[in-house]
């Protein structure tokens, strides 16, 4: 029995020594590997942090809209007796699009004119008699009231007759005409759609981080896939003060339509906004960045051979360069190539 106990103890001690030996060897191997890794010199390319000036350009895709897109509706009731337009016609403001049967309106106007003429004559006569003290003041007031009533009826009759001619409120091209000769229309019936594309609007949605860089009146370069080599110049007409659910703000850019390279409403266009140049600031190439712009780091070479990972703050990005707000000093050398193999504290050799 005593021999079994001694054997068990010896076995446990031997196993413990084996485990300790293995763990010690593993720790030595790890330390040796880390030491070997740190002692390895890695080649990198560097570039100094410099003061520069960045011209930011924001490019967004938007939709071209007409300067005016008007649906013309009828303001009278009746049967159309003439149609003066067809789809595709160019019309001028004030031109007659369709005419509605006006026989009854003309009769109403004649009656209203006659009533007005009579009321005017009665008032003039009553006023003359009043000066001779032949009528009372109340009779003059009654005649004056009758004149005003007749005048209002005359105005209504003239307007009703005028409404039988549906005219174009703007100049432009007819893109729709849902009525024909003999169509019975009512007040509010659509008669035509007129689109004015002599001037155009490009509508884009700008993120809240960029909208404050823009100002009404700023120039904007407009390009399209239809005319890839042509640049149209527009200006910002309006910047909305209210954003949508995606935190973007509608911006409207106005531009004249070109006769040489005409654009049409509904086309896609790219708007390039060029902001005002900023003051000098620290700049590094985008290739030097480790991580994302929001969680930015770079390797700074210290003492000519040691790479140190440093956290930086990026304020802007444009043209492949980053504007640095915090974390770097002018003239410091940063790694621009080879940083993927580095760790903080790694030994490097600068390759020119």
4: pLDDT strictly greater than 80: no
For residues 305 and 324, state if they share a domain: yes
Spell out the residues 6+ positions from residue 195 whose beta carbon is closer than 8 angstroms to its own. Answer: 66, 68, 69, 70, 172, 173, 175, 265
Look over the chain and give the mean of its residue pLDDT values, rounded to a whole number.
87
Give the CATH number of the domain where residue 126 resides.
1.10.287.470
For residues 287 and 322, state if they share a domain: yes
Phi then psi dihedrals of residue 307, to 5 deg: -95, 125
For residues 200 and 270, state if they share a domain: yes
Query: Mean pLDDT across the stretch 156-169?
Result: 96
Which of 225, 253, 274 is where one domain is finished?
A: 274
pLDDT (tens digit, 9 = 90+) per residue, 293-346?
888 999 999 998 899 999 999 877 766 788 888 899 999 999 999 888 888 999
Give the CATH number of the domain where residue 313 resides.
2.40.420.20
pLDDT-based confidence at residue 55 (cuts at 50, 70, 90): low
* Structural domain span for residue 254: 59-65+196-274
The reply to whether 77 falls in a domain is: no
The reply to whether 314 falls in a domain is: yes
198: pLDDT strictly greater than 50: yes
pTM: 0.61
State whether residue 56 is helix, strand or coil: coil
User: How many independent structural domains does the chain possess?
Assistant: 3
State whether residue 234 is helix, strand or coil: strand
For residues 304 and 338, state if they share a domain: yes
Nearest-CA neighbor of 222 among 186, 177, 258, 248? Answer: 258
Helices (H), 62-133: 103-131
38-42, 60-64, 244-248, 265-269: least confident range: 38-42
Nearest-CA neighbor of 234 among 200, 259, 186? Answer: 200
The reply to whether 26 falls in a domain is: no
For residues 302 and 257, state if they share a domain: no
Nearest-CA neighbor of 180 among 102, 99, 103, 104? Answer: 99
Which of 223, 255, 274 is where one domain is finished?
A: 274
pLDDT (tens digit, 9 = 90+) per residue, 106-128?
999 999 999 999 999 999 999 99
Which of 244, 274, 304 is where one domain is finished?
A: 274
CA distance 20 to 175: 90
CA distance 216 to 218: 6
Nearest-CA neighbor of 232 among 265, 277, 263? Answer: 263
8 Å CB contact between 178 and 188: no
The reply to whether 14 falls in a domain is: no
For residues 212 and 265, state if they share a domain: yes
Spell out the residues 6+ positions from residue 231 whose beta carbon is closer than 8 angstroms to its own. Answer: 221, 222, 223
The reply to whether 187 falls in a domain is: no
pLDDT at 38: 46
% of the chain beyond a pLDDT of 70: 86
pLDDT (tens digit, 9 = 90+) per residue, 223-261?
999 999 999 999 999 999 999 888 899 999 999 999 899
* Antiparallel, parallel or unpaired: β 90-91 and 50-52: unpaired
For residues 210 and 260, state if they share a domain: yes
8 Å CB contact between 72 and 172: no
pLDDT at 323: 84
CA distance 176 to 173: 9
For residues 254 and 200, state if they share a domain: yes
Structural element, H or E, at residue 147: helix 137-162
8 Å CB contact between 164 and 101: yes
193: pLDDT strictly greater than 90: yes
């Amino acid at each position: 029995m005593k021999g079994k106990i001694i054997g068990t103890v010896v076995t446990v001690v031997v196993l413990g020594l084996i485990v300790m030996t293995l763990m010690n060897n593993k720790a030595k191997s790890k330390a040796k590997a880390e030491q070997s890794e740190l002692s390895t010199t890695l080649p990198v390319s560097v570039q100094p942090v410099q003061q520069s000036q960045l011209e930011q350009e924001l490019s967004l895709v938007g939709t071209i809209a007409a300067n005016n897109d008007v649906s013309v509706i009828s303001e009278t009731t009746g049967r159309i007796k003439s149609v003066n337009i067809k789809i595709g016609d160019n019309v001028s403001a004030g031109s007659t699009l369709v005419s509605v049967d006006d026989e009854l309106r003309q009769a109403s106007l004649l009656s209203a004119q006659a009533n007005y003429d009579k009321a005017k004559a009665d008032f003039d006569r009553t006023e003359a008699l009043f000066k001779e003290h032949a009528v009372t003041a109340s009779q003059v007031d009654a005649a004056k009231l009758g004149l005003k009533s007749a005048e209002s009826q005359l105005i209504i009759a003239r307007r009703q007759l005028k409404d039988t001619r549906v005219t174009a409120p703007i100049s432009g091209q007819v893109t729709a005409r849902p009525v024909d000769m003999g169509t019975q229309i009512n007040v509010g019936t659509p008669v035509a759609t007129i689109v004015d594309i002599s001037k155009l609007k490009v509508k884009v949605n700008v993120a809240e981080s960029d909208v404050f860089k823009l100002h009404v009146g700023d120039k904007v370069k407009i390009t399209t896939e239809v005319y890839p080599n042509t640049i149209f110049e527009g200006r910002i007409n309006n910047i909305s003060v209210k954003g949508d659910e995606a935190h973007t703000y509608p911006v409207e850019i106005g531009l004249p339509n070109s006769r040489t390279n005409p654009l049409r409403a509904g086309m896609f266009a790219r708007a390039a906004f060029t902001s005002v140049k900023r003051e000098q600031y620290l700049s590094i190439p985008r290739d030097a960045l480790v991580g994302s712009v929001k969680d930015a780091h770079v390797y700074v070479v210290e003492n000519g051979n040691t790479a140190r990972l440093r956290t930086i703050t990026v304020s802007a990005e444009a043209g492949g360069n980053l504007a640095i707000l915090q974390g770097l000093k002018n003239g410091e050398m940063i790694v621009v190539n080879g940083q993927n193999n580095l760790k903080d504290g790694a030994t490097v050799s600068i390759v020119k």
